[in-house]
Copies of this chain bind each other. A is one copy, B any other.
Amino acid sequence: MAELNERSQNILEAIVKDYIASAEPVGSRAITRRHNFNLSPASVRNVMSDLEELGLLCSPHTSSGRIPTEKGFQYYIDTLLQIRDLSDTEKKQLRKSYRFTGMRMEDIMQEVGRILSGLSKYAGLVMVPKFASTVFRQIEFVRLSQNRLLVIYVSQTGLVQNKVIKADADLNQQQLEKISNYLNRELNGLTIQEVREKLKNEMQEEKNLYDQLRKKALSLSCAALQDEVEDQLFVAGTSLMLEQPEFSSPDEMRRLIQTFESKKILIDLLDRSQSAQGVQIFIGSDIDLKGCSLISANFSNRKGALGSLGVIGPMRMNYSQVVPIVDFTAQLVSRVLDREAE
């Protein structure tokens, strides 16, 4: 992107800010009124015309004010946006909202989503990712029927997942207990990734294993960890999002609800942000949700990444307000989960 001179930058910034506040096209006169650039509307118009030329602004029709294009927002985010830190009071307040003692992981996540949504007035997202990267704590087997077992595993952070697998042999509850004891001893503290590795190695190494128990244990846990568990996604504040003027038409509403309902798109989105550090902003065509932006951050504990959270809203989001909230929340959640793991 070519450099803009200072005046153009100022005007672009003014337009973006005014548009964020009002959701209406911004005209040249309105700008001179609200900000005092000591410029006449006509001069502003000239600049606006240039900015339109550059693809940073557009006008919905010939005789209306300008609105920032996606590129305009991108420029604003990249070079104009100043993210203020939260004041200590704000931090304290935020910390006070986040009291999770005695809550289950699921409830914590849900609550975090709700709070994010409430603070931002947009929709809050929290994703607990595929189990793969989390740290193994315990595994239990429950015999459901002759060859169907319920596997329950618990991560270091207390996240509980379960699934049903088929067992080759019919094992009674006592045998299962022995197996889970064995596994818990062997695998405690490893990431699921590492557990998989280890199992794979041992399986190969000891094809003709004498130790029947161990053999069964290995085959069972392999089956249990074979395919991924789905990501869990918590969405909160959909209805707040619907209050935004960009979703005031029935069609737009339906589109949004459909997207949120399937969850798939949102999961993919947050998955993509998994790898990065700090706050990320996805905007417009980055994401499969026309006209929307996502501000996200990852949370993690000492042992590595655990999940992502964020706020999704119209492209015309109040970035300078929401970014620090998302950032700080991610930090808080990370700390809480560290404490949980102890």
Contacts and interface: CB of A to CB of B under 8 A. Distances in A.
A145 B342 contact: yes
Contact of A160 (B162, B238, B261): B162
A163 interface: yes
A24 interface: no
Given A152-B140, A250-B250, A253-B253, A104 B164 contact: yes
A253 B253 CA distance: 8
Given A144-B342, A150-B160, A242-B250, 18 more contacts: A102-B165, A102-B166, A103-B164, A104-B162, A104-B164, A138-B142, A140-B152, A144-B158, A150-B158, A152-B160, A238-B257, A239-B254, A239-B257, A242-B253, A242-B254, A242-B257, A253-B254, A257-B257
Interface of A is mostly: mixed
A248 interface: yes
Contacts of A173: 184
Contacts of A163: 104
Contacts of A162: 104, 160
A335 interface: no
Nearest to A165: B102
Contact of A144 (B142, B250, B340): B340
A203 interface: no
A66 interface: no
A137 interface: yes
A118 B253 CA distance: 20
Contacts of A144: 158, 340, 342
A102 B158 contact: no
Contact of A140 (B140, B164, B257): B140
Contacts of A305: none
8 closest A-B pairs by beta carbon, nearest first, are A145-B342, A239-B258, A160-B162, A239-B257, A140-B140, A253-B253, A142-B154, A242-B254
12 contacts: A102-B165, A103-B164, A140-B140, A140-B152, A142-B154, A144-B340, A145-B340, A150-B158, A150-B160, A243-B254, A250-B253, A253-B253
A142 B164 contact: no
A300 to B, nearest CB: 18
A148 interface: yes
Interface of A: 102-104, 137-138, 140, 142, 144-146, 148, 150, 152, 154, 158, 160, 162-166, 173, 177, 181, 184, 238-239, 242-243, 248-250, 253-254, 257-258, 261, 340, 342
B142 A150 contact: no
Nearest to A249: B250
A156 B257 CA distance: 36
A142 B342 CA distance: 14
Contacts of A164: 102-104, 158
B145 A154 contact: no
A145 B309 CA distance: 25
Contacts of A146: 342
A154 B150 contact: yes
Nearest to A102: B164
Contact of A158 (B140, B142, B177, B342): B142
